[in-house]
Structure 1
């Protein structure tokens, strides 16, 4: 009984530390590449951290927190924070559910990339509302940027997943 009670706090601290590290990495990569992280054409390499949610549910919260914090640096932060945060949370939950029974990690990555790219209608709507940009074209450009980000990031994360067990 004593051993279990000593391990519980250690596990909780470890979980929180992993989540904080992922959230801070998301923010750091987004802000370092801020020139291409915000706007009608986006290439957010930090989106590669989305794939972590496929390995462990703790990363749903970690990545969502990273997006919320990073979006405070956006010129349209007052909408980016709630819309981007909610959209990210939903994409991660939907992606986990959609890929739950898939055996191939590559297919899980492809499915998640497509879901994320499709979800960019929320960002397109926000940019249309704020700047009067044409919705369909903006959805296309933001979605294409997301797909490119997820593809490049997916290759990085897939290679890392061969060396690091992200499920632990």
Structure 2
């Protein structure tokens, strides 16, 4: 009977943490909504992506948070689908690469590299696709002729804001990891 109660408590704790992170991600994104969308963005909630380095539950939590936040995106369904897919990919990669790493600093560095490479590459592809089909809310790049040039333009526009968000989030998550076992 005691194992059953522990199992229920563990499931309840997991679901609560997932809901909390998803809600926090969505709330912070919507709080800065005008600058949280588009090819030049400062989405401070992206700093929460580091959590995936500690526990795989945050892959789903962050993806759900992105989906909720993107419901108000000017790009509509494209951001719902591709933005969520992007988060699943980059947080899953982060979890996979960092799952056996003990150092919080190394986990955060792995997360930063994963998000800034794979995550921003997929997001730049999303903007390139949206512009190519003239989607509502898409933003015209500087190089309207070449798909590669468009993708590169979007990638270069996305990285600085993402880096700033990850840096700030990294400091917060690192400090939190000193007081809270993020893996549990």
Indicate whether the TM-score tops 0.5.
yes
For residues 10 and 106 of structure 1, the distance between their equivalents in structure 2, rounded to whole angstroms, comes to 30
Q: CA deviation at 1:141?
A: 1.2
Q: Which residue number corresponds to residue 144 of structure 2?
A: none
Q: Secondary structure at the match of 1:163?
A: coil
Q: Which moved more, 1:115-124 or 1:85-94?
A: 115-124
- Count of aligned pairs between the two proteins: 167
Q: Which residue number corresponds to residue 155 of structure 1?
A: 171
Q: CA deviation at 1:126?
A: 2.0
Q: Is the aligned partner of 1:28 residue 2:27?
A: yes
Q: Which residue number corresponds to residue 141 of structure 1?
A: 157
Q: Secondary structure at the match of 2:8?
A: helix
Q: CA deviation at 1:148?
A: 1.7
Q: Which moved more, 1:9-18 or 1:58-67?
A: 9-18
Q: Which residue number corresponds to residue 128 of structure 2?
A: 128
For residues 164 and 85 of structure 2, the distance between their equivalents in structure 1, rounded to whole angstroms, comes to 21
**Cα-Cα RMSD:** 1.5
Higher helix share: 1
Contact 2:39 / 2:127 at 8 angstroms: preserved in 1? yes
Q: CA deviation at 1:8?
A: 2.2
Structure 1, unaligned runs of 5 or more: none
The change in CA–CA distance for 1:53 and 1:140 in structure 2 (over 3 A counts) is: same
For residues 64 and 101 of structure 1, the distance between their equivalents in structure 2, rounded to whole angstroms, comes to 22
Counterparts of 1:58-97 in structure 2 under 5 Å? 58-97=57-96
TM-score normalised according to structure 1 size: 0.92
